[in-house]
Structure 1
Amino acid sequence: MRIYDGTRWIDTRPGDFVHVPEGGIHAFRNESGEPASMLLHFAPGAPREGYFEGLVDLAGMTEEERAEFMLRHDTFWL
């Protein structure tokens, strides 16, 4: 996975840890072409369950529905 920590993109490997300060801009992407997984830990916890549970429905949404979903969950794609 490549992870953006608010200042730079970092190429990570299994077992790596990346810290993003609370409220920090962050991003991640899989450029490997292979399946990947990662664990996200929010501390202090944030009410993000609805966002992650709703991601599975994005493909079936219209552009307007997607935009509303992202705005509702304080997510901005750059």
Structure 2
Amino acid sequence: MSHPEPGLVDVRPLADHPLTEAGAAALRMVAPGAVTAGRFGLVEYRLGPRSPGAAPHYHRTFSESFYVLSGQLTLYAGGRWQPYRPGDFALAHERGVHGFRNDSDEPASFLILFTPGIAREEFFAEMAEMRRSGRRPTPEEMTAFYARHDQVMVEE
């Protein structure tokens, strides 16, 4: 059995991971878990000015890290919302309550790293389809959707 050579073995050009628009948000699955053998998933996320992102929630089986590329991102951590700027990093471990939004008048872009690399692209694809179609799921449907994707919503 041959083994791959150490080093870089998978290069994905930009065309392989296009930007998906979803209202005031856009995201790009830079490296989904399917590409990284489940080791991690990497998403580039963009929020327009004064845009909601994700209300406080947690995940049971994976962590999320945030790295701000541009603009100002407001993250929920430690029970409060606080601004993060380019170069700032935040880590939400499994069961760590977190959320994000853009409270500023400028767009914000950031990376989200999921570890391990669960199929988070399915969550984002379903959310984008709901926004595109204008479909308003019932509270019961949203609870089932979140449960299917290991997302537990919490009150602030």
The reply to whether residue 70 of structure 1 matches residue 142 of structure 2 is no
Aligned counterpart, 1:41: 113
The reply to whether residue 52 of structure 1 matches residue 124 of structure 2 is yes
Task: For 1:21, give the aligned amino acid.
Answer: H
Pair 23,45 (structure 1): closer, same or farther in 2 beyond 3 Å? farther
- Which has more radius of gyration? 2
Pair 70,58 (structure 1): closer, same or farther in 2 beyond 3 Å? farther
SS in 1 for 2:130: helix
Report the alpha carbon displacement of residue 51 of structure 1 after superposing the two structures with TM: 0.6
**Residue number among 2, 27, 44 corresponding to 2:99 in the alignment:** 27
Which structure carries more relative contact order (alpha carbon 8 Å, separation 6+)? 2
Percent identity reads 41
Name whichever structure is richer in strand by fraction.
Answer: 2
TM-score by length of 1: 0.74
Structure 2: gaps of 5 or more residues: 1-72
Structure 1: gaps of 5 or more residues: none
TM-score by length of 2: 0.42
- The total of aligned residue pairs comes to 78
Aligned counterpart, 2:89: 17
Pair 6,45 (structure 1): closer, same or farther in 2 beyond 3 Å? farther
Greater mean alpha carbon deviation, residues 31-40 or residues 62-71? 62-71
- Asked if the contact 1:6/1:20 (under 8 Å) is kept, the reply is no
Task: For 2:137, give the aligned amino acid.
Answer: E
Name whichever structure is richer in helix by fraction.
Answer: 1
